[in-house]
A and B are shown apart, each in its own frame.
Chain A
């Protein structure tokens, strides 16, 4: 039984990559999208490795997996979109379940 392991690896990597890149554009939360982007970039690095270009693979990991998603995350977090499901104190007080307290400042 001769299994073409390279082909198998290529197929697995491509499936991960295509799935990851679809998830990048469909993910609801931006941080999830960045996570999927990192996965996509790493699998692209894996495909470079299959082409026997190790240097490109390592640079891909170093730059595109280590640095670029972190920069994206910084961008997302610093632009102050709603990044956590945080409840502001005002919402809690005016919520339906909470009776308005009197006498409090």
Chain B
């Protein structure tokens, strides 16, 4: 069977790592400060470094740092790059192409000149880093009549509630900070905190466009939260657990053999859950404020919506948070409906270190998970750059009149089939 790279979990890994590092330091201090030497008080430091609460605290800090760097830096850049590159291709152009050889300082410029490297024919991955640096250098302007305290609180509220999602969002069985018994509810609760921040941001800027944008954003996010949660209720009839890792485990079972290919029992392959999947997909697109539902920041009519008045890195934070939410939303769809990180592992390397054999999967769980997330995100990008924007009243009509009845239908069917499915010949 397949395996995860991070096992048994991130915290244990960090604990082992930090214990090893602290052990080396502690031993070095103990060796350098023998009893009776003038530096003997240092021995206390050596014992302090090996204390359990200190190690645990550091292990948590490192685990959180790894997760935030991974999700909020690396994956954020990757998602932005995927979107920019993919919509450029949809519009029949190349998109961002700056290569690393265009950097104007020593090793890169020197090497580019020496080897005649093309400076503008690369992948363009670092373009987003350059944009971020540009935003960092810009001035932070607070509008004269803005409510300064609220204006500066709103980005913090939005960004922190978005980063909070990643405390419970697993990238594989082990690659998760906190494996809570009710992590799905935690993720949804953290998702639902953003409308307050958006409304406050729109109000505090003291600008009519931002206020309209904030009101629209809050109305839309509130309206689409309900079908989202109802679709999850339909899913819970089948999953029977609020823990996302349990939900993924439930989907790893075999559904049917299609010739030689085993089809796993993903939630999307059942009748009521497919309805729920469709509802969830549309609702999560609205939660991400992607284009068919991006009326809160419709460029043509509301300048930039509720973030018009933000500038500098505050704008960058609010702008980047959209992709973080897109990452979290795609990951949530993959976890709930598309089997999470389960996938076939073709070969497993088994290098022997001394007497122990460590199996290393060639395609580990994390890679499968990211692959599914990226593919789903490509679908979102494709939809959002192909369809026109929906008007605000139409958005609310779709949310309240179409998606909520559909999700209620999904709940009814799911309850019926969860109770009577085995008696009806295993229909799910």
- Taking CB atoms, residues of chain A closer than 8 Å to B219 are 74
Please give the distance in Å from A17's CB to the nearest CB on chain B.
Answer: 17
Q: A31, B195: Cβ atoms under 8 Å?
A: no
Q: B193, A73: Cβ atoms under 8 Å?
A: no
Q: A58, B182: Cβ atoms under 8 Å?
A: yes
Cβ of B116 < 8 Å from any Cβ of A?
no
Cβ of B185 < 8 Å from any Cβ of A?
yes
Q: A65, B196: Cβ atoms under 8 Å?
A: yes
Cβ of B136 < 8 Å from any Cβ of A?
no
Given A32-B150, A54-B180, residue A62 in contact with residue B189 (CB < 8 A): yes
Please give the distance in Å from B189's CB to the nearest CB on chain A.
Answer: 4
- Taking CB atoms, residues of chain A closer than 8 Å to B181 are 54
Task: Report how far A66 CA is from B192 CA in the complex, Å.
Answer: 5
Per-position 1/0 for A61-99, Cβ under 8 A of B: 110011101110110010000011100000000000000
Cβ of B167 < 8 Å from any Cβ of A?
no
Cβ of A24 < 8 Å from any Cβ of B?
no
Cβ of A48 < 8 Å from any Cβ of B?
no
Per-position 1/0 for B199-216, Cβ under 8 A of A: 110010010100100010
Per-position 1/0 for B148-191, Cβ under 8 A of A: 00100100000000000000000000000000111001101110
Q: A61, B189: Cβ atoms under 8 Å?
A: yes
6 smallest CB-CB distances across A and B, nearest first, come from A66-B192, A61-B189, A62-B189, A58-B185, A70-B195, A58-B189
Cβ of B225 < 8 Å from any Cβ of A?
yes
Q: A66, B196: Cβ atoms under 8 Å?
A: yes
Q: A70, B182: Cβ atoms under 8 Å?
A: no
A contacts with B: majority SS:
helix
- 11 A-B residue pairs with Cβ-Cβ distance under 8 Å, sorted by A, are A29-B147, A31-B147, A54-B180, A55-B182, A61-B189, A61-B192, A65-B192, A67-B222, A74-B219, A84-B203, A85-B145
- Taking CB atoms, residues of chain A closer than 8 Å to B230 are none
Q: B195, A66: Cβ atoms under 8 Å?
A: yes
Q: A84, B195: Cβ atoms under 8 Å?
A: no
Number of interface residues of A (CB under 8 A): 23
Task: Report how far A38 CA is from B157 CA in the complex, Å.
Answer: 12
- Taking CB atoms, residues of chain B closer than 8 Å to A65 are 189, 192-193, 196
Please give the distance in Å from B211's CB to the nearest CB on chain A.
Answer: 7
Residues of B within 8 A of A (CB): 145, 147, 150, 153, 180-182, 185-186, 188-190, 192-193, 195-196, 199-200, 203, 206, 208, 211, 215, 218-219, 222, 225
Cβ of A35 < 8 Å from any Cβ of B?
yes
Given A66-B196, A70-B195, A74-B219, residue A31 in contact with residue B203 (CB < 8 A): yes
Q: A35, B200: Cβ atoms under 8 Å?
A: yes
Number of A-B contacts (CB under 8 A): 66
- Taking CB atoms, residues of chain A closer than 8 Å to B222 are 67, 70-71
Q: B150, A85: Cβ atoms under 8 Å?
A: no
Please give the distance in Å from B221's CB to the nearest CB on chain A.
Answer: 8
Pick from A29, A62, A74, A84: contact of B218, CB under 8 Å: A74
Task: Report how far A58 CA is from B188 CA in the complex, Å.
Answer: 9
Given contacts A35-B200, A54-B180, 4 further A-B contacts (CB under 8 A): A58-B189, A61-B189, A65-B193, A73-B203
Residues of A within 8 A of B (CB): 29, 31-32, 35, 38, 54-55, 58-59, 61-62, 65-67, 69-71, 73-74, 77, 83-85
Task: Report how far A61 CA is from B180 CA in the complex, Å.
Answer: 16
Q: A84, B206: Cβ atoms under 8 Å?
A: yes
Task: Report how far A69 CA is from B150 CA in the complex, Å.
Answer: 15
Q: B196, A69: Cβ atoms under 8 Å?
A: yes
- Taking CB atoms, residues of chain B closer than 8 Å to A54 are 180-182
Residue of A nearest to B195 (CB): A70
Task: Report how far A67 CA is from B228 CA in the complex, Å.
Answer: 14
Given A67-B225, A84-B211, residue A31 in contact with residue B193 (CB < 8 A): no
- Taking CB atoms, residues of chain A closer than 8 Å to B206 are 84-85
Q: A83, B203: Cβ atoms under 8 Å?
A: yes
Please give the distance in Å from B142's CB to the nearest CB on chain A.
Answer: 15
- Taking CB atoms, residues of chain B closer than 8 Å to A62 are 185, 188-189, 192
Task: Report how far A86 CA is from B190 CA in the complex, Å.
Answer: 34
- Taking CB atoms, residues of chain A closer than 8 Å to B211 are 77, 83-84
Given A54-B182, A61-B193, residue A73 in contact with residue B150 (CB < 8 A): no
